[in-house]
Structure 1
Amino acid sequence: MRERTSQWTATNSGQGQGQGRWASSVPILHTLRRRGGIKRSEVARELGLSTSTATEVSLRMRRAQLISEGQSEPQGRGRPSPIILPHPAGPLVGIVELTITGWRALVADVTAQLRPVFSAPLPARSDEFLSDAHDLVGRLRAEHGQRLVALVISVPATVRAGRYAEPFSLGWDHIDFGPVLDSVADLRVIVENNATLAGIIEAERLHSELPGARSVLYLEIGENMGGSLIVDGRTMLGATGSSGEFGHMPLGDDTTSCKCGSRGCWGTSVSGYGLAARLGDPEPDNPTAYFADLLARTQSIRQREHRAAVTIGGVEEDLEELRSVRNRQEAKVVRDAAWRLGRGVAALVNALAPDALVFGGLAAPLHGAHEDAFSLSFETHLMTARQFELPAVGYARCGRDAAALGAALLALDLALDEAGLAAWEAAHS
């Protein structure tokens, strides 16, 4: 199975520590973008570098315009250790992110800090978008020149071979990103699914709390169900680079067709499209917003119903109003979505045995609001052997920037390896 690295280790750096001019710089940059501005002494301690080695490597990186250093607050005796910061003329990654509501462009420095530079509604047709994206990438390259070391295109679609996408959730047919990629052929270019990228950063955040979690399953509900499996800091991509389409496992209702071309997809049972169909509503333009509103409304009614049940006066009238046919229908489909979420997660845990689960997008509030229904379904469908070591469960932390942050992390790890740093030094020292 193909994999994409998101976490630096000595085994994938190409050379061990101390070998090669940039061998020690790679893990320093890796630590910097996961921790932000930190002291040089802290980096040295984490990586097992001597003070003299850390000073020498830091000097080389400053001369190459990779980092700068700022003064930290004095603490106790002795000279305070400087804080490592991104160089103002250092490497940048360009990110183009599409969602069902629009698209935007950002740049990220070596610490993976994001800076938005453009946003707009999506054009009506994919060819219009490709033309606009080509122009935008050209503007990014003209503005930042050789500082731009990589480009990531993040899209809510099945991605194949790092070039082709099937963005049916956008109402578009097959897209070939080749014309955009060819315009920046000298850069490291990545086209990837939004949920896959979000999983990278969420797994990194979880790893700081659960360092023993080697295998993390990330699941998010947006316009559909998506996610990724991250093992030892590497995203499992499959033979075609398009794994993680968990929402298209046939765990739903076979009478329901999916926009992917199949039937009975899990995602149709736990997304806004499927819930609207079950309620007899028109297909929503924005299934994520539809489901979010439905979830919030049913939660509000549950809370009001509970308050009415403990009120002495006017109980029957309040309860009768709250228990209207529509309200009961909405409550049922949302609770059923939580049940079907538990069933699908159990299937994945049975098959993949992850150490931890991270719920993102609407999967987090759905799980939180109906944890009883989720847990009952999860336990019912979980094989006995898996019940002895249940995975830890956490919620995503990065919000709407998750895919962009994951894109920055991935691109910087890939572009600023030893070969990339050597090329950067040759061009910028």
Structure 2
Amino acid sequence: MTRGAVSVLVQELIAQGLIYEGATGEVARGRKPTFLHIRTHDRLAIAVDVRFSKTFLMLSDFSGRQLALETYDTIFNVPQFVKDLAARIRRILKTRGIEGDCEGVGVAVPGMVDHRTGRILNAPTLGWRDVDVRDPLAAATGLPVQVENSGRACSLAHMWLERGEAASTQSFVYISVSDGVGVGVVVNGELVRGHDHIAGEFGHMPLSLDGPRCMCGMTGCWEAYVSNLATLSRYFGWNLSKLSPKSLRDAERKTFSVPDLVARARGGDAKANTAIQSTARFLGLGLATIVNVVNPDCIYLAGEITSAWDL
């Protein structure tokens, strides 16, 4: 892109009020640069993170600053999910959205999403297959809605919001370990989506065909070894292959969590430490496969289990 084309685009964005000019920089020679900034303080967005156990609803500004957060049990019936979520969005904007105008809603789900249409192709932990929540939610709220796979959403957030050395990394893999395992792959600054927009499903690569049952219905998936539920199952002696989906949901919603398990391990609970060390071993096996396949500059690992990194 030529310098002239860039200047035209910048002037259009300034005219639209989306960016603004800041201070002038200092250089040894030549024309001093003018810093440009994205207008963030009065532009709001709704972020929705749908998980197997809980749904997280956050209001933030365009810099990612959290203004309000609400957590509630996930609703699996799609029409009820959309109706309830729309009501919660309207309420949080009415009570906490006085700082600016909301410009849209982003929904992250643990499953395969067709980025072109926004349809959720398959989210096995939610029991959703070929589901459309984007258009009904947009109609119910009057706001633009984007739906994305949770792992890829984390990768995009990292690219857009990180500063310093982390922001300069062009090839990385972002892994989020929670109720499941979400993975996003970025190569040369571009998010890898694949031919059918479902690339990066490393959580369902098999570590063993004779392993525990995964919530996707298969056995031995990486997710079935390292998710929060898998870690807690080792401690409590649950057999994931024999638990029903309802039992799994009830187990996830119990008050005891992975941070509680980590606290017990730090307090000298040998059984808790063994459960965490087993998860660490299986995490390492999966990470080694990702390194061999993608060979990224670095891997970012997120989730409650990372609080046990020093154990």
Q: TM-score, normalised by structure 1?
A: 0.55
Aligned to 2:283, what secondary structure does the other structure show? helix
Paired amino acid for 1:132: D
Q: In the alignment, is residue 152 of structure 1 matched against residue 152 of structure 2?
A: no
**Structure 2 vs 1, CA of residues 365 and 207 (structure 1 numbering), >3 Å: closer, same or farther?**
same
Query: Which residue, out of 285, 304, 315, partners 2:252?
Result: 285
Other-structure match for 1:270:
226
Contact 1:105 1:118 in 2 (8 A): yes
**Structure 2 vs 1, CA of residues 182 and 132 (structure 1 numbering), >3 Å: closer, same or farther?**
same
Other-structure match for 1:195:
151
Other-structure match for 2:242:
none
Tell me the distance in 1 between the aligned counterparts of 2:140 and 2:11.
26
Q: Where does 1:3-402 land on structure 2 (aligned, <5 Å)?
A: 15-19=1-5, 22-24=8-10, 39-42=22-25, 50=31, 54=34, 86=39, 91-99=43-51, 100-109=53-62, 111-116=63-68, 120-123=72-75, 125-135=77-87, 147-161=101-115, 162-164=118-120, 166-169=122-125, 171-174=126-129, 175-180=131-136, 183=139, 189-203=145-159, 208-210=164-166, 213-252=169-208, 254-278=210-234, 279-281=236-238, 283=248, 284-286=251-253, 290-301=257-268, 327-328=270-271, 330-369=272-311
Contact 2:181 2:203 in 1 (8 A): yes
Contact 1:213 1:355 in 2 (8 A): yes
Other-structure match for 2:244:
none
Deviations 1:242-275 (A, max 9, x none): 3232211111462311111211101111123323
Deviates more, 1:258-267 or 1:149-158: 149-158
Contact 2:172 2:297 in 1 (8 A): yes
Paired amino acid for 2:133: F
Offset at residue 297 of structure 1 (A): 1.6
Equivalenced residues, count: 290
Deviates more, 1:220-229 or 1:97-106: 97-106
Other-structure match for 1:379:
none
RMSD over aligned Cα atoms = 4.2
Aligned to 1:23, what secondary structure does the other structure show? helix
Aligned to 1:200, what secondary structure does the other structure show? helix
Deviations 1:41-68 (A, max 9, x none): 24x97xx9955x849xx7xxxxxxxxxx
**Structure 2 gaps, min length 5:** 240-247
Contact 2:56 2:69 in 1 (8 A): no
Offset at residue 176 of structure 1 (A): 2.0
Contact 2:40 2:61 in 1 (8 A): no
Offset at residue 349 of structure 1 (A): 0.2
Q: TM-score, normalised by structure 2?
A: 0.73
Tell me the distance in 1 between the aligned counterparts of 2:30 and 2:177.
42
Offset at residue 148 of structure 1 (A): 4.4
Tell me the distance in 1 between the aligned counterparts of 2:196 and 2:255.
28
Tell me the distance in 1 between the aligned counterparts of 2:39 and 2:274.
51
Paired amino acid for 2:173: L
Tell me the distance in 1 between the aligned counterparts of 2:199 and 2:284.
21
Contact 1:223 1:288 in 2 (8 A): no
**Structure 2 vs 1, CA of residues 185 and 136 (structure 1 numbering), >3 Å: closer, same or farther?**
closer
Computing the radius of gyration from Cα coordinates, the structure with the larger value is 1
Contact 1:252 1:269 in 2 (8 A): no
